[in-house]
Amino acid sequence: MALPMIKSVVACTDFTRTVQPYISQLYDLPQQFYHSATDPQALKELYLNTNPLILAFAISLTLVPIVALVVSEINKNYSQIDRVWSLLPTFYNLHYAAYAHAKGLPTQRLDSLAIISIVWSSRLTYNYWRKGGYTVGSEDYRWQIVKDYVNNPVIFFLFNVLFISWAQSVLLFSVTMPTYVLLLAAPIVKAQTADIAFSQITLAFIFLAYAADQQQWATLPQQQDFHAAKHSYQKSAKVPPSSKFTAADLDRGFNTKGLWSLSRHPNFLAEQSVWVTLYIWSCWITGTSYHWAGAGAASYLFLFQSSTWLTEMITAGKYPEYKLYQKRVGKFVPSLWGEGMPDADADAVGKKQQ
C-alpha cells in the first residue's frame, strides 16, 4: 500500500505512520525502475504503488544531484542546481497533485497549490533569465569566490558533491513536504475558506517578490530599473534622461529606494515567506502547531541566512556605504526601531561617495 490508512487529520502529521513505514521503498526503487523502464504500464503501476513522498525524495536524492554533479564537473560550472532552482519545487508539487488525481483523491486544494507553484516558478525563472542565468557559461559569482577561498580541488569537489549538488537538491524537495501532508489530509478535510486565504497570502508574497525584482531588473525603459540605469550611467557618465534615479543613487552602486528602503532583501523575504506559508497552511489544515514537514522550511530559512551573509560580505567590500545601509535597514524584515533609508538620506549617502 502506497499511502497510510488514516482516519484522523492529526495522524496525517505522524511521521511514524506516514513516512517511516515507506522508507524501505527507497532500496527497492532502483531495481524496480530498471525492470519497468521499457514497459509504460509497469511504470504506471510502479508510480502508483510507491509512496509519493518517497518517490520525490528518491528523485532529489539520486537523479537530480547525479546529473548536476556530472554536468558541473565536465563544464567546471557549479550553477547547475541554480538553473533548476525555480523548477524543482513546482515539479514536486505537480507530482503530488498528479498522484492524488491518479488515486481518485479530492484535489481542489492540491490543484490550487499546483497553480500557485507554476506562478512562483514563472516569476523566479523569468527573473533568473533576465539576469543572464541561462546564458551559456553563466555562473553564480559566489561559487568562484568559495572555490578561491577553499583553494583545494579535492575539498571543493567534495563540497560540490555534498552541498552544491546533493544538499541543495534535497532542500528543494524538502520545502514541498507539507504538500504531502495536505495530500494525506485531502480525504478528511474538505476545501475550506482557509485554503482561499492561504492561497491569496502565498500569491501576495510572490507578487511582492516580483515588485522587488522589477525595482532592480525591470526590462521596459519606462520602468527605469536600477541596474539598467546604473549600467548606462557607468558607460556614459550621464544619468539616463528617463531615469527616476539620481547621480547619487547610481554612484552609491546599490538600490536603496522603494521596497529596498524598507528591507535590504525584500525579494528574499518574500521568497522565504512563500514556503513558510505552505508549512503553516499544512499546520492549519491538520490542526497542529508544528510537525516534521517544517524541517524543509526551516532549512530554507537557514540557507538564506548563510547565503545572504556571504552576499552582503561581498557587497560591503565592494561598496563602502553598504555598511551604513546595513545599520539603517533590516536584512529581511523591516526594523521597527531602525531609522530606515528615506530618499533624502539615500541621496546623501550617494553624494558622500562622489
* pLDDT over 70 percentage in the chain: 85
3-state secondary structure of 259: helix
Mean pLDDT of 318-322: 89
Q: Indicate the pLDDT class of residue 320, thresholds 50, 70 and 90.
A: confident
Q: Within 13 Å of residue 322, how many CA atoms lie on the same side as its CB? A: 16
User: Looking at the predicted structure, is the pLDDT value of residue 247 above 80?
Assistant: no
Q: Residue 140 has what pLDDT?
A: 94
Q: Residue 218 has what pLDDT?
A: 62
User: Looking at the predicted structure, is the pLDDT value of residue 187 above 50?
Assistant: yes
Summarised one tens digit per residue, pLDDT across range 118-130 is: 999 999 999 999 9
Give every CB contact of residue 285 below 8 A, 6+ residues apart in sequence: 9, 109, 181, 182, 185, 189, 194, 195
Q: Torsion angle, CA of 350/326/272/63, rounded to 10 degrees?
A: 90
Give every CB contact of residue 85 below 8 A, 6+ residues apart in sequence: 124, 128, 168, 172
| Mean pLDDT value across the chain | 90
User: Looking at the predicted structure, is the pLDDT value of residue 207 above 80?
Assistant: yes
* pLDDT over 90 percentage in the chain: 79
3-state secondary structure of 3: coil
Q: Indicate the pLDDT class of residue 220, thresholds 50, 70 and 90.
A: very low
> What global pTM score does this model have?
0.89
User: Looking at the predicted structure, is the pLDDT value of residue 4 above 60?
Assistant: yes
Between 128 and 244, whose confidence is greater? 128
Summarised one tens digit per residue, pLDDT across range 254-311 is: 888 889 999 999 999 999 999 999 999 999 999 999 999 999 999 999 999 999 999 9
- Among the residue ranges 42-46, 159-163, 214-218, 292-296, the one predicted with the least confidence is 214-218
Q: Are 234 and 251 in contact (CB under 8 A)?
A: no
Q: Residue 256 has what pLDDT?
A: 87
Q: What is the DSSP string of 89-151?
A: HHHHHHHHHHHHHHTT---HHHHHHHHHHHHHHHHHHHHHHHTTTTSTT---HHHHHHHHHH-
Q: Indicate the pLDDT class of residue 231, thresholds 50, 70 and 90.
A: low
Q: Residue 342 has what pLDDT?
A: 56
The residues that bridge with 174 in the sheet, in sequence order, are none
Angstrom distance (rounded) from CA 57 to CA 266: 30
Angstrom distance (rounded) from CA 113 to CA 110: 5
Q: What is the DSSP string of 150-191?
A: H--HHHHHHHIIIIIIIIHHHHHHHTTHHHHHHHHHTTTS--
Q: Residue 239 has what pLDDT?
A: 65
Closest CA to 289 of 53, 10, 18: 10
Q: Residue 249 has what pLDDT?
A: 67
Summarised one tens digit per residue, pLDDT across range 85-125 is: 999 999 999 999 999 999 999 999 999 999 999 999 999 99
Helices (H), 186-293: 193-217, 226-236, 247-252, 266-286
Q: Are 273 and 207 in contact (CB under 8 A)?
A: no
Angstrom distance (rounded) from CA 186 to CA 41: 27
Q: How many residues does the chain have?
A: 354
Summarised one tens digit per residue, pLDDT across range 157-171 is: 999 999 999 999 999
User: Using alpha carbons only, what angle is made at residue 329 by residues 266 and 348, rounded to the nearest 5 degrees?
Assistant: 115
Mean pLDDT of 229-246: 65
The residues that bridge with 315 in the sheet, in sequence order, are none
Residue type, 313: M
